[in-house]
Amino acid sequence: MNEDQKKQQVKAMEGTSSADVKSDQNKDYSQYFQTSYTPPDLKQAKKRGKEDVSILYNFDIPEDMQGIGKGKKFLIRTYGCQMNEHDSENIAGILLQMGFESTAVAENADIILLNTCAIRENAENKVFGEIGNLKPMKLENPGLIVGVCGCMSQEESVVNRILQKHPHVDLIFGTHNIHRLPDLLKNAIFSKEMVVEVWSKEGDIIENMPRARKGKIQGWVNIMYGCDKFCTYCIVPYTRGKERSRRPEDVIEEVRHLARSGYKDITLLGQNVNAYGKDLVDMEYGLGDLMEEIRKIDIPRVRFTTSHPRDFDDHLIEVLAKGGNMVEHIHLPVQSGSNAVLKLMARKYTREHYVELANKIKTAIPHASFTTDIIVGFPNETEEQFEDTLSLMREMNYDSAYTYIYSPRDGTPAAKMEDNVPMEVKKERLQRLNALVNEMSAANNLAYQGKVVEVLVEGVSKKNEDVLMGRTRTNKLVNFRGTDASIGTLIQVKVTNAKTWSLDGEVVETVGVN
Ligand code: SAH
Ligand code: SF4
Ligand code: F3S
């Protein structure tokens, strides 16, 4: 099918109203396209079976795709969380291995991939805006490949909308089949048809995909994929499949490799890292055991994200309390301070459990810094329940918090609840919450005034190129004047001025420790 035929067929589809599409989400659109068409299915993605997870170590670029990118450039835009960033590093790695070069300039690109996020409606709107923006570029340069991947691709409503309204998109793939990119790209390049392949399975683990890491100081190491928590508001368990842990030996080898390559700060990644190991059928092994091993590796800082309070066990706290390269920063999303709201969210802990856990951590690690995530305006949230969140914030004295207005996600249980808190009220609550977060952050930063802290120098400040920036072990941003030679080293800095969101300081030790 050539471009014109494709446009005509999609035009025919545009005749359907959006209401038809809604009632017709499982419709097989493959009749419109000749290529193999695997659509997503959120209901299928929800299933959790007992079958073993396959761990595949045999990623390879097919022979006929090797070198195909010579002289061509790619651009990846990443919209989501660290996991999404991590996927972009894999995608970039694959494209580089195929001979493509990376570019930051859209006009120079032969492939533009949007690695999307489905967590809130505004994340999705941004992507649809960008898909629209790319249309003139595609019309001017029909050879350009426009691809959509990431979490939005896992939603059938999104794929249907792209099929109907954005025929200039060439390729849609999901979070479970990134390793199929070479083949999918081949189809997209040579057949000129929209290629859609999204797997709604529980997921495998692909071990040896190439990786083009973004930085040389900080690195991400995925320790597990997926999520089985099914918090009622959240789309992630549907877009990322079931919880599945990488083998400890694979994780440890990757951390060792990063240590040998000079990385200084490692973040272990997962949607719910505290569930690490639960699915490893042949061993009793958890995050605490993994951290105990990683503690022995010569890398100055190790952190992890994200923790679910429910699976945070005593062994992990014991290991973290040993210090060394285990930093004193715990991101522990609470979502709400009201037990009634927590119950509706199916977080499966109470405010009291959460505080008890946090106190246990604080006793074991006295200078630990806590950060959190909060959702305001969940269905039925009353003013009083929101005030419970404010009081929990004060009780916990967080260093900072990511705060969000609740956004209904199609296919989740909460989306069936009446979204009955008016938008003005949601916005007003968010403002009050943010004011409190700012106040706490400023007060906590003030405690650093005059103190000498260890800073990992990350680079030149984005705001002022005469100034360097780095972070404390507790993840506080510090700006100071220094020499570029210290980038990538640990130095001692005296805090001279504490601001709301950052600290200014002076270097007290000029030679960094490598
Ligand atoms: N796995 C992580 C969260 C990933 S999503 C965890 O459980 O901590 C990051 C944050 O986005 C969540 O903690 C939550 O605060 C927010 N979030 C998730 N779904 C949302 C929704 N439907 N509306 C608003 N915020 C949401
Ligand atoms: Fe979403 Fe809850 Fe899983 Fe986090 S733990 S990814 S909020 S379902
Ligand atoms: Fe977004 Fe998917 Fe991450 S929905 S937050 S990119 S797991």
Query: Residues 410-432: what's their mean pLDDT?
Result: 97
81 is in an annotated binding site: yes
pLDDT over 50 (residue 20): no
* Mean pLDDT estimate for the chain: 90
pLDDT over 70 (residue 23): no
Query: Residues 199-224: what's their mean pLDDT?
Result: 91
Query: Residues 348-363: what's their mean pLDDT?
Result: 98
- The pLDDT score that the predictor gives to residue 18 is 29
- How much distance in Å is there from the Cα of 131 to the middle of ligand 3? 18
| Cα distances (Å, whole numbers) of residue 127 to 120, 134, 226, 409, 415 | 11, 11, 22, 16, 21
pLDDT over 70 (residue 414): yes
- The pLDDT score that the predictor gives to residue 17 is 29
Q: What percent of the chain has pLDDT over 90?
A: 81
229 in ligand 2 pocket by Cβ < 6 Å?
yes
Query: Residues 93-100: what's their mean pLDDT?
Result: 96
pLDDT class of 65 with cuts at 50, 70, 90: confident
- The pLDDT score that the predictor gives to residue 44 is 84
Q: Which atom of ligand 1 is nearest to the CA of 373?
A: 15
pLDDT over 70 (residue 189): yes
Which range in 35-39, 395-399, 484-488 is most confidently predicted, on average pLDDT? 395-399
Looking at residue 30, its amino acid is: S
pLDDT over 50 (residue 32): no
- How much distance in Å is there from the Cα of 482 to the middle of ligand 3? 36
- How much distance in Å is there from the Cα of 236 to the middle of ligand 2? 6
Residues in the chain: 514
pTM summary value:
0.90
Q: Spell out the residues 6+ positions from residue 345 whose beta carbon is closer than 8 angstroms to its own.
A: 231, 232, 233, 335, 336, 375, 378, 414
234 is in an annotated binding site: yes
pLDDT class of 19 with cuts at 50, 70, 90: very low
User: Using a 6 Å CB cutoff, which residues line ligand 3?
Assistant: 80-81, 83-84, 117-119, 150-151, 235-236, 239-240
Q: Which atom of ligand 1 is nearest to the CA of 407?
A: 23
C-alpha span between 409 and 387 (Å, rounded): 25
Q: Would you say 399 and 358 are in contact if contact means Cβ atoms under 8 Å apart?
A: no
Q: Which residue has the higher pLDDT, 287 or 203?
A: 287
C-alpha span between 200 and 159 (Å, rounded): 13
- The pLDDT score that the predictor gives to residue 125 is 97
- How much distance in Å is there from the Cα of 503 to the middle of ligand 2? 32
C-alpha span between 379 and 336 (Å, rounded): 12
| Cα distances (Å, whole numbers) of residue 202 to 91, 176, 226 | 20, 8, 8
* Cα–Cα nearest to 436, from 401, 384, 477, 474: 401
* Cα–Cα nearest to 150, from 242, 207, 84, 236: 84
Q: Could you give the domains of the chain? A: 3-39+51-198 (3.40.50.12160), 207-446 (3.80.30.20), 452-510 (2.40.50.140)
227 is in an annotated binding site: yes
173 has which bridge partners?
A: 197
Q: Would you say 150 and 198 are in contact if contact means Cβ atoms under 8 Å apart?
A: no
Q: Which atom of ligand 3 is nearest to the CA of 271?
A: 7
Sheet holding 195-197, edge to edge: 37-38, 195-197, 171-173, 145-150, 111-116, 73-78, 101-102
Q: Which atom of ligand 1 is nearest to the CA of 233?
A: 22
C-alpha span between 324 and 1 (Å, rounded): 61
- The pLDDT score that the predictor gives to residue 54 is 84
Query: Residues 283-307: what's their mean pLDDT?
Result: 97
C-alpha span between 306 and 82 (Å, rounded): 10
- Considering only 21-25, 158-162, 266-270, 417-421, which range has the smallest mean pLDDT? 21-25
SS3 184: helix
- Considering only 1-10, 92-101, 106-115, 482-491, which range has the smallest mean pLDDT? 1-10
Residue owning tokens 């709301």: 500
C-alpha span between 141 and 146 (Å, rounded): 11
Which helix H or strand E contains 378, and what residues bound it? none
pLDDT over 90 (residue 444): yes
C-alpha span between 203 and 209 (Å, rounded): 15
- The pLDDT score that the predictor gives to residue 42 is 87
- The pLDDT score that the predictor gives to residue 511 is 52
234 in ligand 2 pocket by Cβ < 6 Å?
yes
Half-sphere exposure of 467 (CA within 13 A, CB side): 14
pLDDT class of 28 with cuts at 50, 70, 90: very low
- How much distance in Å is there from the Cα of 436 to the middle of ligand 1? 20
CA–chain centroid gap for 510, Å, is 35
SS3 373: strand
149 is in an annotated binding site: no
pLDDT class of 10 with cuts at 50, 70, 90: very low
Query: Residues 118-141: what's their mean pLDDT?
Result: 96
